[in-house]
Structure 1
Amino acid sequence: MNMENRKEELIIANAKLAFQNQEKEEKAAELVIANKELLFQNQEKKKRATELIISNKELASQNQEKRNRAAELILANKELDFQNQEKQNRATELITANKVLALQNQEKQNRADELIIANKKLDFQNQEKKDRAAELLIANIELAFQNQEKEKRAAELIIANKELLFQNKEKEKRAAELVIADKELASQNQEKEDRAAELFIANIELAYQNQEKENRAAELIVANKELLFQNKEKENRAAELVIANKELASQNQEKEKRAAELVIANKELLFQYKEKVKRAQELLNANIELKKAQEYQKEYILGIEKVIFMTSHKVRQPIANILGLSELLDLSKDSKLEITQTLDYIKTSAQSLDVLTKELNAYIIELRQKAKNMLL
């Protein structure tokens, strides 16, 4: 009875052992399948990490290009500032020259004898101003061309940003493809579980290999731990890549802001350029008015000279006659008839003086009218 009981216990123990071995074989098979899946997933992750590295290098290259273009824009802005400073200096020189001209005009009014020489100097200075005004116009045309170049570069920056957005959309599509691939892996896992159920029957025949499989299972457990550690490292690196991509996106936003600031600065430069054109036009108008004033001065001085001539010659003669006849009357002891003739001469001289005075007055009125017309 004891032997039969022991045999039954051994049979039960063997059945349990066979069942345990079968479970171990199933688990070992599942571990082998899981290891293969992990290797496949690791290869996919390596491929995706490589793709991310390549895309990051492309982004870095594009960012470098944007930095170079921004540096070129900054250099162009500095050149524009320098040219604007040169134009301001020339405008200051023009204002100073105009003040000098005004002072010279004041001196010309006091020095009528030196008018001809001063007018020649003034014509030469006006020619110099015309040349400078022409230089200002040429510089303004160059400034407009440089502004157009800046607008083109800003447009290139906008196109580069659009390309970056397109690449980001491509990455999102790849992430969606990864999600789909994960779903496919889950489906494959389900199929593998079904196959594992089929392998359950085949594992009964492999009971005698349990010891070796247990050793191999232990090795596989160690390898799985190493794979898990490597997967965690890869996930950490992928997280770092995501953070780096976010930082790149933030830098791109900062560059867009700087590009917008550069556009605003270009608009301000255009406004300043227009103001300078207006001031140059005002200076040209002032020079034209100055020429008119100089022509008026010439006419006025010629009129004054004519008035002086009339005063010193034509008006002086009847006055001298009157004075001479008056002295003759004082010294004369002639008859009444001679005195009457002398008074007639005086009257004739006075009438002649009156006519000359009226002519002189009419000429002065005409001279004033000409001055008003010239100033208008």
Structure 2
Amino acid sequence: MSKRRNSRSSRKSNEENIRLEHTLEGNEDPIYNAPRLYNGKPVINISERRFGPPPINKQSQQYKTHLQQMDYINKHSELKPVFDSIFTHRLMQTVHGDQGHPNVPYQDIYLLTYDQTFIHAYLLLHENSHEHYTYLICHGIRHQIEDLNKIIDRFYNDFGNVLIIDYRGFGNSSGRQSERGAYIDVQTAFDYLLTLNEIDSKRIVIYGVSMGVALAIQLATEPNNSENIHACILENGFTSFKDAAADQSTFAWFLPSKIFSVGMKSIDKVHQLHVPVMYLSGLNDRTIHPKQTKQLFQATTNSKHCQLEIYADAGHTDVKQMPDYIKRSYKPFMKAVWKIQNPDQTNLQPPILVTDHGKRRTSSVYECTEQQIQHVQSTNLSSCSCFH
């Protein structure tokens, strides 16, 4: 019985690899007969949303852009999963904490990737979602989205709209863990955001932590993506997967790179980052040495704006939870980015914090002139611009 089970598992894995290869090579047609539900949750077919109903116009600029993105993924994940190192499996093992769900309104959905993998996602939108920044969160190697409800709540309550996904093989997402697969998953999530009318596609911020930094860098360095990324915030990333392994075991440093089935060589890509970037580093990080974040920062030479924020008391994933993070790092960075992205200053900056948005609406009442108040009293309340 176990042999039969292993045979089925092996055959399924092989089919996944073939679909992945075909997608990266541009030989896989978008799927239109996908199920509407997976694990009882709605499935969103990204190919259909992006390319429209069949038949696909493969000469369209949208489809040509898709092929360029797949080619970029293929070129920057050259290591094929031939060798399955003990170090790779140890580092890729997800550690589950107390499973939970966001305590704020959210959509529990699956995104169907270009190679037919079902990616579990939470989408959180404010009622006035178009007025806020939208954060695509790329979590670390030892987490799944159901472990991160407190972080999700924090981003929603303080920073804006949120989309967070589990990469293939993580949490409830289908498929097997792989570098190239994870790149496709994050690209799929980003493409989904670009199809949402409820958000402003020019205000998307990519937030990566640990391994998520490598995924964010991959996404942001693809030329077709950068114009739609407002900024990146990257917390305690590594220069390459092998370097991360070396921090866990000195022996890994002496092993050849080809023995690892994951490359994630961010240090070779960051010079292609043109979007504004803020690197966050915790000096108490016991998982990835802080020097790796510094090396990424120093190699990011072509960004419109790049800064490094070092926190002496922070560890591997808690820089954003430091008491002075918002005032010291986050607000100044977002204000600087807005000035760079809007040099003509004709557009008003959206609220940097959701809480600021509430204060702005309340305080604006007191900005009304006496004449405006009298006018409002004699007409309709909504006619005063101060109340919008």
Question: Which TM bucket (shorter chain)?
Answer: under 0.3
Instruction: Point out the structure with the larger helix share.
Output: 1
Instruction: Point out the structure with the larger strand share.
Output: 2
Instruction: Compare CA radii of gyration and give the structure with the larger one.
Output: 1
Higher RCO (Cα < 8 Å, 6 or more apart): 1
TM-score, normalised to structure 1, is: 0.20
TM-score, normalised to structure 2, is: 0.20
